[in-house]
A and B are shown apart, each in its own frame.
Chain A
Amino acid sequence: MTVFKTYLKVLNRYKFTVILYTALLIGFAAINNTAGTGQQAFEARKPNVYIEDLDNSELSKDFIRYMDTKCELSHLEKEYTKDALFYRQLDYYLTIPKNFEKDILASKNPEIQVEKTGDFASYYANMLSERYIKTVQVYASTQENVSALIKDVKKNLDTQTKVHMETTLDKASIRSITNYYNFAAYSLLAGVMYIIGLVMTTFKREEIQKRMVVSATKQGSIQIKLWLCNVGYALILWASYVGISYVICGKVVFSQHGLYYILNSFLYLLCATSLAFFVASLLKSREAINGIVNVVALGSAFLCGAFLSVNLLPEFVLKIAHVLPAYWYIQTNEFLRGAEVINTSALQVMYPNMMMLVFFTALFFGLTILTSKMRTRF
């Protein structure tokens, strides 16, 4: 009971940092959360486009109407568009020049200025603009009346290819839960390492060590109680994160996919806990804990794709990341993101990743025992 009470005392003193890591997780998840609609129908992605119409003609208005059907037209104040373009909240800025309609009807090729971010979405918006202008140019060669021209163009561009979604998953919910559990790689590791490190080093302080040695309680018993408290804390932290994921991501957490996310995060928790024990066994003072936690947790988060999509990381970085448990954890999450069904072949992909987490857990526990024994001997 004394060990447990002391543990709670230390935990209470450092609760602010754990709350902070949790707040970061909630903040990140809430902002990236896209509520699932439960529908599996195809919805074309819409780039964010700002159109400045200097012509204000019938044809330019029809151009805007067409773009509106395919894009999210931005209604930002013009002065804010530059920031929006930089931060990729706007993908494309299009200026319809003066005399646009007149030039098209005169079979000229008017110069249209565009600003783009250079990503997928801006490329698509550019294709849409090109398509409209080209269609107008072709029909303008046979048609001089603007209203008739617009009618022809509209009829042609209304072509809509049938798209079949070969999926049974609610992609928005899956995206939301994957982002949440990927970010949890950082929060879980930092939260567990920080507290376990602090508690273990607190109990290593010379005056406390001396008091423990002269007490009637066996050393082994104290150590076991400490380990149990740490594991208990880690489990409570993990259970709260699972609870929060239900609040943020919804029912998908308790779907078949969701249960694998939970199982994967549990294995990662075991790994994080054993890593925390190992780091704590190497340290004598509390001074270094903050530094190590930040370097290890932030480092593996950046290198393994907890904050950014794994697809955006360079190949060689991912190769380096193989030595980090977070890599195997995030790989499983990313696999679940696209897995249609969890069948035997899906499990064959996930099991090696999960086994790697078990391997890391065993490795860190082994190293902890080895280091502790060496320390006791010398």
Chain B
Amino acid sequence: MFWINFKYTLKALFHNKSLLFWTYAFPIILGMLFNLAFQDLEKKEARSTYDIAIVQNEAWQDASFYQEAMKELSSGDDPLFHIEYTSKKEANRLLKEKNVIGYLELQEEDFDVFVTSNGMEETILQYVADELTSTKDMIVDVSIKEVDKEIKKGNYNIQAERIEKKVREILDTEVNLQDVSLDNMSYTNIEYYTLIAMACLYGGTISIYIMNGISADISSKGKRFSVTPIKKGVLILSSLCAGFLTQIIGIGALLAFMLFMGNANFGDSIGNIILLSMAGSLAGLSLGIFVSSVVKMNKGNKDGLLIGISMLCSFFSGMMGMTMKYIIDTNLPILNKINPAAMITDGFYALYYYHNNERFTFDLISLLVFSAILLTISLIKERRVSYDSL
């Protein structure tokens, strides 16, 4: 009986358009949208060339040091600035119309910076003005000190060129900052992980469909099941196995789409990726069974509730803003400890970023415990179900 019911449940599931949409089509449609929306995100967050203006007044015409420095900053393959040299009035217009992030005006020896907001670009503009001024001061300071030194030594034949050369040499020495950043820092992957998590939870619609099919108070099929001599446990188990298989095929298709056509990176541990996807699918099915057993609503409302819960869980795991999961993890960790979408997302994150089995194992076990708790509660609820009259 197990296999007969398994086969027919599978057939019924593959004939249900609504379920196929939620399990197969919807996650892949969202995956396509993610591919479109996030492909340039990290590139655009990196430093780019900023448009600025410099007021060409008398002070600027005489400031050869600053002119040279600005020329250097605005040339080469990857310049920091694209500079428009212009009048004060024009610079103001450019700023108001947002054609430049800000403009510099040299007043005697120091710069004045004009901006309209507090962004990072404006801060960098201020920084460059600071640095130019302090570098100039530094050259003067050091030169004076060198001259003093020479005079103290009794050498009155000061060679300005030699001193300047010495200072220049130090200034031109590259600071030995070694970038040891990891390569796997692409945080847009979190979006893809939350998408898989959401797809796993949406799999709950399959178990709601199955549970509705065997509930005598909801469907006529359920009435027929309840009067058959077959054990209810066998029916539920075989149906859920068919549901699990349907769900796994959907998640597999989504993973394949992301790996081969998308921009997602899951790390190298294929075995663990599959294991986590299976545990996530089980959690989704358990959630569906739980909603179906505990909440007394009609079919449509149960689906709506499940989709709502899935959406909320996905939101807290970072689907609508990648940093959300981190914010919840650091401020309200308990919320993500009971959120199956966060467990799935964190599991993939652990595989990608940490290559760490300890964190991954914790997430995997959490998902299994989550499923076990929901299934146990549902089982207790279902065992008590009896009908006075159909």
Name A's B-contacting residues (CB within 8 A). Answer: 13-14, 16-17, 20, 23-24, 27-28, 31-32, 42-45, 47, 80, 82-89, 109-121, 123-124, 126-131, 133-135, 137-139, 141-143, 152, 156-157, 159-167, 171, 183, 286-288, 290-291, 294-295, 298-299, 302-303, 307-308, 311-314, 317, 320, 338, 340
Residues of B with C-beta under 8 A to A45:
118-120, 122-123
Which of B124, B137, B146 has a CB less than 8 Å from the CB of A124?
A: B124
Known: A118-B181, A302-B34. 20 other contacts (CB 8 A): A20-B311, A23-B312, A27-B315, A28-B315, A42-B122, A45-B123, A83-B326, A89-B326, A114-B179, A114-B180, A114-B181, A115-B180, A117-B181, A119-B42, A120-B120, A141-B170, A142-B146, A159-B130, A290-B22, A298-B33
A217 vs chain B, min Cβ distance (A): 27
Which of B106-114, B211-219, B239-247, B369-377 forms contacts with chain A? B106-114
Would you list 23 pairs from A and B whose C-beta atoms are within 8 A, ordered by A residue?
A20-B312, A24-B315, A42-B115, A42-B122, A45-B122, A82-B353, A87-B323, A88-B187, A89-B330, A114-B180, A119-B47, A135-B138, A138-B167, A162-B111, A164-B112, A288-B21, A290-B307, A299-B29, A299-B33, A302-B36, A308-B37, A308-B321, A317-B37
Residues of B with C-beta under 8 A to A31:
321, 324, 327
Which of B30, B116, B320 has a CB less than 8 Å from the CB of A165?
A: B116
Given contacts A84-B326, A116-B179, A119-B45, contact A134 B119 (CB under 8 A): no
The residue of chain B having its C-beta at the shortest distance from the C-beta of A311 within the complex is B44
A183 to B313, alpha carbons, bound, how many Å?
18
Which of B90-98, B223-231, B252-260, B271-279 forms contacts with chain A? B90-98
The residue of chain A having its C-beta at the shortest distance from the C-beta of B139 within the complex is A138
Residues of B with C-beta under 8 A to A311:
44
The residue of chain B having its C-beta at the shortest distance from the C-beta of A91 within the complex is B120
Residues facing A in B47-77 (CB within 8 A) are: 47
The reply to whether B36 and A314 contact each other, CB–CB distance below 8 Å, is yes
A287 to B312, alpha carbons, bound, how many Å?
21
A43 vs chain B, min Cβ distance (A): 5
Given contacts A31-B324, A120-B120, A161-B130, contact A86 B308 (CB under 8 A): no
Q: Which of B117, B137, B171, B326 has the most CB of A within 10 A?
A: B117
- B132-168 vs A, Cβ < 8 Å mask (1 yes, 0 no): 0110011001100110010000000000000000110
The reply to whether B175 and A130 contact each other, CB–CB distance below 8 Å, is yes
Which of B17, B96, B300 has a CB less than 8 Å from the CB of A286?
A: B300
The reply to whether A166 and B30 contact each other, CB–CB distance below 8 Å, is no
Q: Report if B126 contacts A (CB, 8 A).
A: yes
Which of B92, B111, B174 has a CB less than 8 Å from the CB of A166?
A: B92
A38 vs chain B, min Cβ distance (A): 14
Main secondary structure of the interface of B (DSSP, over half): helix
Name B's A-contacting residues (CB within 8 A). Answer: 17-18, 21-22, 25-26, 29-30, 33-34, 36-42, 44-47, 92, 95-96, 98, 110-124, 126-127, 129-131, 133-134, 137-138, 141-142, 145-146, 149, 166-167, 170-171, 173-182, 185, 187, 190, 300-301, 303-305, 307-308, 311-312, 315, 320-327, 329-330, 349, 353-354
A14 to B305, alpha carbons, bound, how many Å?
9
The reply to whether B115 and A16 contact each other, CB–CB distance below 8 Å, is no
Residues of A with C-beta under 8 A to B329:
83
B312 vs chain A, min Cβ distance (A): 6
Q: Which of A83, A128, A303 has the most CB of B within 10 A?
A: A83
The reply to whether B123 and A44 contact each other, CB–CB distance below 8 Å, is yes
The reply to whether B178 and A162 contact each other, CB–CB distance below 8 Å, is no
Which of A112, A135, A303 has a CB less than 8 Å from the CB of B36?
A: A303
The reply to whether B120 and A124 contact each other, CB–CB distance below 8 Å, is yes
The residue of chain A having its C-beta at the shortest distance from the C-beta of B120 within the complex is A120
A313 to B323, alpha carbons, bound, how many Å?
18
Given contacts A31-B327, A88-B187, A156-B138, contact A109 B175 (CB under 8 A): yes
A44 to B46, alpha carbons, bound, how many Å?
19
Which of B22, B116, B118, B353 has a CB less than 8 Å from the CB of A44?
A: B118
The reply to whether A17 and B308 contact each other, CB–CB distance below 8 Å, is yes
Residues of A with C-beta under 8 A to B40:
312-314
4 smallest CB-CB distances across A and B, nearest first, come from A87-B326, A161-B129, A120-B120, A119-B45
The reply to whether A159 and B134 contact each other, CB–CB distance below 8 Å, is yes
The reply to whether B304 and A124 contact each other, CB–CB distance below 8 Å, is no
The reply to whether B26 and A118 contact each other, CB–CB distance below 8 Å, is no
A322 vs chain B, min Cβ distance (A): 14
The residue of chain A having its C-beta at the shortest distance from the C-beta of B148 within the complex is A142
The reply to whether B21 and A291 contact each other, CB–CB distance below 8 Å, is yes
A143 to B148, alpha carbons, bound, how many Å?
12
The reply to whether A317 and B308 contact each other, CB–CB distance below 8 Å, is no
A111 to B181, alpha carbons, bound, how many Å?
15
The reply to whether A112 and B170 contact each other, CB–CB distance below 8 Å, is no
A123 to B92, alpha carbons, bound, how many Å?
28
The residue of chain A having its C-beta at the shortest distance from the C-beta of B328 within the complex is A31
A42 to B33, alpha carbons, bound, how many Å?
38
Residues of A with C-beta under 8 A to B133:
159, 161
Residues of B with C-beta under 8 A to A135:
134, 138
Which of B21, B29, B36, B307 has a CB less than 8 Å from the CB of A320?
A: B36
Which of A20, A124, A161 has a CB less than 8 Å from the CB of B112?
A: A161
The reply to whether A128 and B142 contact each other, CB–CB distance below 8 Å, is no
The reply to whether B26 and A120 contact each other, CB–CB distance below 8 Å, is no
Residues of B with C-beta under 8 A to A287:
17-18, 300
The reply to whether A129 and B46 contact each other, CB–CB distance below 8 Å, is no
The residue of chain A having its C-beta at the shortest distance from the C-beta of B297 within the complex is A13
A77 vs chain B, min Cβ distance (A): 11
The residue of chain A having its C-beta at the shortest distance from the C-beta of B327 within the complex is A31
A30 to B88, alpha carbons, bound, how many Å?
41
A328 to B228, alpha carbons, bound, how many Å?
59
The reply to whether A124 and B312 contact each other, CB–CB distance below 8 Å, is no
B139 vs chain A, min Cβ distance (A): 8
The reply to whether B142 and A138 contact each other, CB–CB distance below 8 Å, is yes
Residues of A with C-beta under 8 A to B300:
286-287
A120 to B304, alpha carbons, bound, how many Å?
42
A80 to B329, alpha carbons, bound, how many Å?
11
The reply to whether B182 and A115 contact each other, CB–CB distance below 8 Å, is yes
A299 to B33, alpha carbons, bound, how many Å?
7
B35 vs chain A, min Cβ distance (A): 10
Residues of B with C-beta under 8 A to A307:
320-321
The reply to whether B142 and A142 contact each other, CB–CB distance below 8 Å, is yes
Q: Which of A47, A109, A294 has the most CB of B within 10 A?
A: A294
A288 to B129, alpha carbons, bound, how many Å?
59
The reply to whether A313 and B175 contact each other, CB–CB distance below 8 Å, is no
The reply to whether A313 and B115 contact each other, CB–CB distance below 8 Å, is no
Q: Which of B33, B37, B185 has the most CB of A within 10 A?
A: B37
Residues of B with C-beta under 8 A to A85:
185
Q: Which of B29, B131, B349 has the most CB of A within 10 A?
A: B131
Given contacts A87-B322, A121-B120, A166-B95, contact A157 B134 (CB under 8 A): yes
